Amino acid sequence: MTANFATVVLDVDSTLSGIEGIDWLAERRGPDVAAKIAKLTDEAMRGVIPLEDVYGARLEAIRPSLADIEALGLAYVNKKASGSEAALRRLREAGVDIVLISGGIHQAILLLANLFHIEPGDVNAVRLRFTSDGSYLGFDASSPLTTSIGKRTLIERLNLAGPVLAVGDGATDVAMREVVDQFAAYVGFVRRETVVAQADVVIESFADLAQRVLGS
């Protein structure tokens, strides 16, 4: 079988898994912090404010511990998109490369990637730093994924086999459209009209994704 795309680039939060990782962490800090962080995340994903204006501030308000991040990894797995395992298995069997590019937390996303048999080297996300007792120390501020156009920047650095299909739900995902062959807005968890309006195609499920990539 010849696939329509050689590489599929997937967002994680609200795409491969039905949670926003930073928002999930904020909920562990109580309703006031949760409401504040959810508002900032929503505005960043709709493109109302640049991600770089809120990335560090959100983490500083939460200060997640290593134990929090390990719990987040389990939450990602528990909320994986319906049909995603079967769809990604079909893509792998057809020789399609699967790459994760996320503004989420690298250490948490690795657990989800392992479920899908995605190599650690194909997981691109933001690494956090912790003290020896697991307390929050900071994040990799040099990562382009903490910025609004970071996913586009990263794709330009990666040697991806083409044609490339990028899939995501937020404004930071739309930025990839300029450097891939096709951008698909994933609406299986949340539908952002500003993202849909700029997409080449809308995908409602992972079964739809497999159909678009494999054509059958």
Catalytic residue among 13, 23, 68, 208: 13
Report the C-alpha gap between 32 and 42 in whole angstroms: 16
Tell me how far apart the alpha carbons of residues 199 and 44 are, in angstroms, rounded to a whole number.
18
- C-alpha span between 112 and 206 (Å, rounded): 16
∠80-84-90 over CA atoms, to 5°?
155
Q: Hey, which residues does 154 pair with through a beta bridge?
A: none
Catalytic residue among 11, 68, 173, 208: 11
- Give a three-class secondary structure readout of 66-107: HHHHHHHHHHHHHCECCCHHHHHHHHHHCCCEEEEEEEEEHH
13 flagged as catalytic: yes
Task: Show the tokens assigned to 134.
Answer: 């697991």
Is residue 115 within 8 A of residue 134, CB to CB? The reply is no
Give the catalytic positions in this structure. Answer: 11, 13
